[in-house]
Amino acid sequence: MTSLDLHSRAPVHTGLRDSATPIPGSGAGPLTARRTILVAESDYASRSALRRFLEQSGYRVLEADTMASSLRAVFRQEADLVVLDLDRDGGTADVLTKIRRRSTVPVMVCSAHAAEADRVRLLNLGADDVIDKPYSMPELEARLRAVLRRGSAAPTTTLDLGGLVIDHGTRTVTLGTDEVPMTRKEFDLLAFLATSPGRVFSREELLERVWGSTSRWQGCSTVTEHVRRVRLKIETDPENPRWIMTVRGIGYRFSSAAA
């Protein structure tokens, strides 16, 4: 386990425990093998407790306690997933925004009793999941595995829809000859709809299938806002869309005619 810019009172470790060899009795399976988790947590006690639990579950763990050290680890592509809670060091939202400008690494945000609006904002900024504090370690690991599972299940094909190209391998969208910048969740939503042209999905179903959530606070407004933003990026006339159609009273479908 390697530490990054830890507080002076924190012990500094050298070397990494490779989770490709799970700890006996941990129950670690193929999903955790070689998976590296960056624990970006400003509180030493919380960070250490989470690090110990994740290592016992078979993960390889990096630690960071500041915005700068967190971003360095992310931009070096050292982590498969980030557990983020840096409210004591400039704000989790600021760190998340900076991560999403340059990386699609999955991010799970730990939030202390945040209001619904705050959670929706974090999801709209690009968080893959938000877990409320205090949380149980088993629940956090279950959510972590779900986020990693969604990433592992992503198809590697390229969809050429006649002017709109969605490349799952590189996670890029091209409209004509221009690459369209997309956040992680914008891409996930567009790719999910485009792989089932003509099929109608309710907002609730999209929330569950794309965000992996059925939480009461992670409302359908998240889906509506992401559809609006994707349309602004790919539609010539977002008010009269060609690609993502609204089915009133139900949800959305990707136009089979466009595909």
Same structural domain, 170 and 195: yes
Same structural domain, 88 and 207: no
Q: Is 259 inside a domain boundary?
A: no
In this structure, which amino acid lies at residue 120? V
- Between strands 129-133 and 158-160, the pairing is unpaired
- DSSP string of 54-113, one letter each residue: HHHTT-EEEEE-SHHHHHHHHHTT--SEEEEE-TTTT-HHHHHHHHHHH----EEEEEES
Q: How many domains does the chain have?
A: 2
Q: Is 217 inside a domain boundary?
A: yes
Q: Among the three residues 115, 137, 152, which one is the final residue of a domain in this structure?
A: 152
Q: How many CB atoms lie within 10 A of CB 232?
A: 9
Output the 3-class SS for 205-259.
HHHHHHHCCCCCCCCCHHHHHHHHHHHHHHCCCCCCCCCEEEECCCEEEECCCCC
Q: Is 224 inside a domain boundary?
A: yes
Helix 221-234 and helix 184-194: axis angle, to 10°? 80
Q: Determine the Cα–Cα distance for residues 245 and 251; give it in Å rounded to an integer.
A: 9
Same structural domain, 31 and 49: yes
Judged by DSSP in three states, 131 sits in strand
Question: pLDDT (tens digit, 0 to 9) for every residue of the chain, 259 residues total?
Answer: 444 433 333 433 323 333 333 333 334 444 444 688 999 998 899 999 999 999 999 999 999 988 888 888 887 767 889 999 887 655 788 888 888 877 778 999 998 766 788 888 888 888 999 998 888 999 999 999 998 887 665 555 788 888 899 998 788 999 999 999 998 889 999 999 998 888 899 998 898 888 776 555 557 888 999 999 999 999 999 999 999 999 999 999 998 666 5
Same structural domain, 69 and 180: no
Instruction: Supply the range of the domain harboring residue 24.
Output: 2-152
Same structural domain, 220 and 146: no
Sheet holding 81-85, edge to edge: 2-4, 60-64, 36-41, 81-85, 107-112, 129-133
Q: Is 231 inside a domain boundary?
A: yes
Report the CATH number at residue 103.
3.40.50.2300
Same structural domain, 139 and 163: no
Residue that has been written with the tokens 């139900």 in this structure: 250
Same structural domain, 81 and 163: no
Q: How many CB atoms lie within 10 A of CB 169?
A: 10
